[in-house]
Chains A and B, each alone.
Chain A
């Protein structure tokens, strides 16, 4: 988790301050206690120290400009911490300005509206009770509105104008966050009494939010290839047979590892990224992020939804390590015991529905990734080899790719590399 660097209050009665000088630049490595910048005050220049070790990024605090006390002016990312765009990071971090989020962290559509209680964000704004009520229901942060009433008072008309403007904007630019209006008209399409309403939990809300964002902002395209598994399956069997036995927590004898086809898929994809580094990327507006490692997220189905724990630096890990890590991650995913750093981030993902018999499917890319591999079932199928029909164990995989970051040829190379590793699995054991 990146540490925020804020403009601190250094004086009684201080509302805002100016950074007179930064001592470090974007991307610099800092140590806790290093003087990051100076604040100009009435009395004297105050030095502000770095609150943590790491890399200074996203310096937004401009020199010579009034900045309100408490606002984030930069971030410090720990060594090796995956660097995500400011938006994404800001989402995870504690918001510096409660005002920023008061309006956008909104009520789910259909939630019961209580009479507004005074919040720190809204007490100082002049607005009629009706305006506040409508704003709350429409998820508009009233503090951002300009009122046309006497003394700048915000009235119903002002809020309605803001709602209309936002609706117009959402038509033109897909919103990052769905406002979820239209519930009532949806429900009206169903026969009364023929359904039950189940409120969303936070996992469902997060899934909805992130996947809508993904689909609305990432230009997906898909490539498909089938892989022959015969060699891999034999090798897998041999590898698993060679496993030594060890004592489990319950005192039972269990094998030291048990590798699955999916474990091979994870490793193969990681290796493929090493073969085709141009595909090992993430898209940001300013730059292409070229990853040095393959942190592969693996979709795990959990009760009520899905989670994608990450196998970091999968290219460096032996299959048995990947396998055991996956077992542990999956189990803890199901019991909701994962730590955020275990499922946030990653460079690409794998999703496997083969155990359900699905032949092939397309998955949705999880930002900030640029690719996701959808793995189908391993099945015996007839193929033609050297002009002869034979039966073989085949598996379809579909790669979804962010066209902003990865073009068709690169994606094809990546998929071909994946197939090569799957069909020549011994290479992955070396």
Chain B
């Protein structure tokens, strides 16, 4: 009788994806700090070490640079590693291997090798972890040709996109917002993939297109529900993939609504929304714009410790509501 798919948390969905991948393909294995018996800093890997053993769920020393490099070398020579950075902020330590090696090896070697590595990044603010443990650096990696960068926003998508990422022959960077780990949602059983490079329209509307990523998708949906009371009809697009970006979906939507608001947590300047805005301004959607393109992004500051300041440093629902209203009512 009950045909509803069962619900899993975002973290559980990731674990399930990795377990399925490891069962299907013995080349797949996990690397990271404290992912074994500890279960991972955010309990994502959980009891996978008991099911698959320490050879396939490898605790590494605190060596992001070396560890990322080991993952690259393993991927080049025939394994399929999934490397977990404990916090996305630590990508900085591994940047050499991510940007100079993983992203470029295939190209520099004229296509003689592929680098099928997946790297996972728990990201974002709201846990009081402050400046060095709360960043959103997807724009940095999105800037690098040779990488693919994804930001699933729902448990359904994170499982499907992670499975797609593991199968992808090229390096895929997945940014997971920490505040989403406990969010529950319907997740089908068994193996399925969600394509990398395709955005999803979460809510249809006619007056304004909001392009959002990660947790901002949920905030935008909440804002859209509020705006409905004022007869403002908002279309919310979950971008899902930063590189390669689904330009067509955004262009089609802006042609319909004539207005664009980008909402993202990364610092506003030079962030993901800056790319979306410029892309639309260059595209055929330009002729359909009836208002300036607007962005809501993270403040120009490191993430503060104090909880009120921490909230104020990233877009919140009231900010989205106000920006949307201003755009639609012609106040901007």
A-B interaction: yes
Chain A residues with a Cβ under 8 A of chain B:
115-116, 128-133, 148-150, 155-157
Would B289 and A129 count as touching, CB distance under 8 A? Answer: yes
**B331 CB contacts on chain A under 8 angstroms:** 150
Would B330 and A131 count as touching, CB distance under 8 A? Answer: no
Most chain B CB inside 10 Å of its own CB: which residue of A115, A129, A132, A133: A129
Would A128 and B284 count as touching, CB distance under 8 A? Answer: no
CB distance from B172 to the nearest CB of A (A): 36
With A128-B290, A129-B287 known, 7 other A-B pairs at CB within 8 A are A128-B289, A130-B258, A130-B288, A130-B290, A133-B288, A149-B330, A155-B330
**B258 CB contacts on chain A under 8 angstroms:** 128, 130, 156
In the complex the two chains form, what is the Cα distance from A132 to B331 in whole Å?
19
Would B287 and A115 count as touching, CB distance under 8 A? Answer: yes
- Which residues of B, 272-298, contact A by the 8 Å Cβ criterion? 284, 286-291
- Whether a CB of chain A sits under 8 angstroms from the CB of B6 is no
**B290 CB contacts on chain A under 8 angstroms:** 128-131, 155-156
Chain B residues with a Cβ under 8 A of chain A:
258, 284, 286-291, 330-332
Kindly identify which residue among A130, A149, A157 contacts B289, using a CB–CB cutoff of 8 Å.
A130
CB distance from A145 to the nearest CB of B (A): 14
Most chain A CB inside 10 Å of its own CB: which residue of B287, B288, B332: B287
Known: A150-B331, A150-B332. A155 touches B291 (CB 8 A): yes
A134 nearest in chain B by CB position: B290
Most chain A CB inside 10 Å of its own CB: which residue of B284, B289, B290, B332: B290
**A148 CB contacts on chain B under 8 angstroms:** 330
11 contacts between A and B (CB under 8 A): A115-B287, A128-B289, A128-B290, A129-B286, A129-B288, A129-B289, A148-B330, A150-B330, A150-B331, A150-B332, A155-B290
CB distance from B287 to the nearest CB of A (A): 5
In the complex the two chains form, what is the Cα distance from A129 to B255 in whole Å?
11
CB distance from B141 to the nearest CB of A (A): 32
**B288 CB contacts on chain A under 8 angstroms:** 129-130, 133
In the complex the two chains form, what is the Cα distance from A170 to B226 in whole Å?
42
In the complex the two chains form, what is the Cα distance from A128 to B292 in whole Å?
8
**A116 CB contacts on chain B under 8 angstroms:** 287
B255 nearest in chain A by CB position: A130
In the complex the two chains form, what is the Cα distance from A133 to B288 in whole Å?
8
CB distance from B200 to the nearest CB of A (A): 26
**B284 CB contacts on chain A under 8 angstroms:** 115
A147 nearest in chain B by CB position: B330
A116 nearest in chain B by CB position: B287
CB distance from A138 to the nearest CB of B (A): 15
**A129 CB contacts on chain B under 8 angstroms:** 286-290
CB distance from B173 to the nearest CB of A (A): 35
In the complex the two chains form, what is the Cα distance from A116 to B288 in whole Å?
11
In the complex the two chains form, what is the Cα distance from A352 to B284 in whole Å?
54
CB distance from B329 to the nearest CB of A (A): 10
Would B330 and A115 count as touching, CB distance under 8 A? Answer: no
Would A115 and B289 count as touching, CB distance under 8 A? Answer: no
In the complex the two chains form, what is the Cα distance from A148 to B330 in whole Å?
9
The 8 A-B pairs at the shortest CB distance, nearest first, are namely A130-B290, A128-B290, A156-B290, A129-B287, A129-B289, A133-B287, A115-B287, A130-B288
